[in-house]
């Protein structure tokens, strides 16, 4: 089942507030000396400007046919060199090792268990060239915010309800139609453990897309990891 299909219908509005991530991923892609891959590429919101700036192909992988259909339309309209493939980030394979693999917009949090995330990390590590980078961003989990928002209806950017399930460290986002997607939170130590078991190294942890240092007040993890070599 394509759980993202109802979100595909409203995705332009849903993602409209998120613009500050694009220059960060574009900057990393400019430094990539080889294939560039976006996991959970969705509608190619980020992949299109990345490919336009670097003047090279970006491969985008996503599990949702509905998101990919919107992505194909956007890529065609932009005339961008983005190759969209249907697939799950837990078991993707590339023909050629990548110089940069990235996951924007907290999409890594759609993967439910630690073991699933380990599979993603291990697939990424196996798919990078030596010295290649893996970059992603995710919310810093905050019980105060989760508690305050639990059960509330938000009007922006698209009407939706939030439900916080502490026992599963999960937040559910439900549209008026009843369609729900979920985010499973991860702590800093979980991310560090995943990087470690996959044999990657932390190159940087920023507290925002302006590359400020991560500190006790940070609300976003902006990770850059590297494959040794």
Ligand X SMILES: C[S@@+](CC[C@H](N)C(=O)[O-])C[C@H]1O[C@@H](n2cnc3c(N)ncnc32)[C@H](O)[C@@H]1O
Binding site for ligand X (CB under 6 A): 4, 15, 40-42, 45-46, 62-64, 67, 88-90, 104-105, 107, 110-111
**Closest distance of CB 216 from ligand X, Å:** 27
Contact of 172 with 180, CB cutoff 8 Å: yes
Closer by beta carbon to ligand X, 93 or else 215 = 93
**Closest distance of CB 167 from ligand X, Å:** 22
Closer by beta carbon to ligand X, 24 or else 226 = 24
Which residue number places its CB atom closest to ligand X? 42
d(CA 127, CA 94) in angstroms, rounded, equals 6
Closer by beta carbon to ligand X, 23 or else 213 = 23
**Closest distance of CB 215 from ligand X, Å:** 25
**Closest distance of CB 7 from ligand X, Å:** 7
């Amino acid at each position: 089942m394509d759980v993202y299909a109802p979100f595909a219908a409203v995705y332009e509005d849903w993602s409209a507030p998120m613009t500050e991530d694009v220059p960060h991923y574009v900057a990393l892609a400019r430094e990539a000396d080889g294939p560039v891959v976006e996991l959970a590429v969705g509608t190619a919101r980020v992949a299109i400007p990345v490919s336009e700036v670097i003047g090279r192909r970006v491969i985008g992988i996503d599990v949702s046919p509905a998101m990919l259909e919107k992505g194909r339309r956007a890529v065609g309209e932009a005339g961008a060199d983005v190759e969209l493939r249907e697939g799950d980030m837990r078991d993707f394979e590339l023909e050629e090792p990548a110089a940069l693999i990235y996951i924007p917009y907290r999409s890594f949090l759609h993967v439910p268990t630690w073991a699933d995330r380990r599979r993603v990390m291990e697939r990424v590590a196996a798919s990078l060239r030596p010295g290649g980078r893996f970059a992603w961003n995710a919310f810093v989990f905050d019980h105060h915010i989760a508690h305050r928002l639990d059960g509330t209806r938000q009007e922006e950017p698209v009407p939706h309800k939030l439900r916080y399930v502490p026992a599963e460290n999960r937040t559910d986002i439900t549209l008026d139609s009843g369609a729900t997607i979920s985010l499973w939170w991860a702590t800093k130590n979980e991310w560090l453990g995943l990087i470690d078991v996959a044999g990657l190294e932390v190159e940087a942890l920023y507290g925002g897309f302006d590359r400020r240092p991560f500190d006790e007040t940070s609300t976003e993890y902006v990770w850059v990891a590297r494959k040794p070599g």
